[in-house]
Amino acid sequence: MKKITYFAAAMLLAALVTIVFAKANSTYSVDNETTVTIGDVQFNVPGGTDGHIVVGGYGTYNGDVTGAVGSITINGQTFGYNTPTRVTIDEHNSVRATWTGVIVVTDQNIVY
């Protein structure tokens, strides 16, 4: 019985380690639905190594991030999960960005 208990505990530990390592590397996407070049989209990982994706104009851009992302930064402007945010790209352009699993950039707005 003691061997079965140790075996079960070892299997549980192995399963937990596998789950932790499986979550350690995640693929993130930025779906730019505008024609504006967004630039560097940073994935802020608390206590870890931040990741980033360079986003050009219209299209979907993918990248890998190690660790759990806590917030997103675009052009020096940080926002959290499920918080639609107006992001100023330059003196003439701003976009609306939302992080809901995929970072979606929509609603191009020209500012003069």
Does residue 20 lie within any of the structural domains? no
| pTM greater than 0.85 (yes/no) | no
Question: Six-digit token pair at 88?
Answer: 């100023």
Q: Which is it for the CA torsion 48, 80, 73, 37, positive or negative?
A: positive
pLDDT tens digits along 40-92: 999 999 988 889 999 999 999 999 888 889 999 999 999 999 999 999 999 88
Task: Answer yes or no: is 87 within a domain.
Answer: yes
The pLDDT assigned to 95 comes to 92
Task: Report, in angstroms and rounded to the nearest whole number, the Rg of the chain calculated over CA atoms.
Answer: 19
Q: Is residue 65 in a domain?
A: yes
19 within some domain: no
pLDDT surpassing 50 at residue 21: no
- Beta strand 25-32 with 71-74 is unpaired
Which residue range forms the structural domain that includes residue 50? 25-110
Residue 7 has pLDDT above 60, yes or no: no
Give me the number of domains the chain comprises: 1
User: Contact 75/84 with Cβ under 8 angstroms?
Assistant: no
Residue 88 lies in a domain: yes
What's the angle, vertex CA 61, arms to CA 81 and CA 51, rounded to 5? 60
pLDDT value at 20 more than 60 = no
